[in-house]
Amino acid sequence: MLNRSVAALNKAVDTGIIRARQRRAGSGVQRLLGRAEMRFLLVADRLERDLTPTGRRRLYEAIRQLSFDAHRVAFGEVVLDLGKIDADLKSRLHRLDELRRWVQVGSDRNEPTIKGTKIPAYMVAALARGQSVEQIVDDFPSLTRDQVEAAIEYAKAYPKRGRPYPPRSLKRALAELADLGAFDEEAEVGEVAPRRIP
């Protein structure tokens, strides 16, 4: 949603630039960012080269003091209008709500699936690394283009933990092997003698 990696967000929290609430999730802990943190990160992206680390901290504290309906922030001699930032944030949060309607989240142990199917959303998103949306829909005819795009965006907003899925479907990988002749019948092979293992 903020176009930042999990590592970059964790670094911002670990270095004390922003704060995050913590919540237990299964056997791990999740860091939750509030509206002030999201506002700050969007502003900081646009002012990245213009702020020193001290300036970033002062800006963050000034944004934290604002009410949600205030759109101007002042720190020192600088006054920023957050109107565009707030409109952008509102649009992104609205899109995140839309994505949640496409994805069914199960219990902690179950992966999120595309609503109305048993197809994991993270698997579909992983396929997008190596296949086009059209190829994914060809491999999974029960999915629509909108469902595939929602799964991709959902995975960006909620990155998968653990081992990633492969970037190609089994169907596509087998088809590529067949095109290479991996399943062609070879000329008759004679008997193979046992080999001695050293």
Helix (H/G/I), strand (E/B), else coil: 94: helix
Q: How far apart are CA 141 and CA 132, in angstroms?
A: 14
Q: How far apart are CA 153 and CA 68, in angstroms?
A: 26
Digit-by-digit pLDDT tens for the chain (198 residues) are 777 778 888 888 888 888 888 888 777 788 888 888 888 888 888 887 788 888 888 888 999 998 888 889 887 788 889 999 899 989 988 988 888 889 988 765 678 999 999 999 999 999 999 889 999 999 999 999 999 999 999 988 888 878 888 888 888 888 888 888 877 776 455 666 777 776
Residue 14, CA distances (Å) to 2, 29, 56 in order: 18, 14, 14
Residue whose C-alpha is closest to residue 25's, from 110, 112, 108: 108
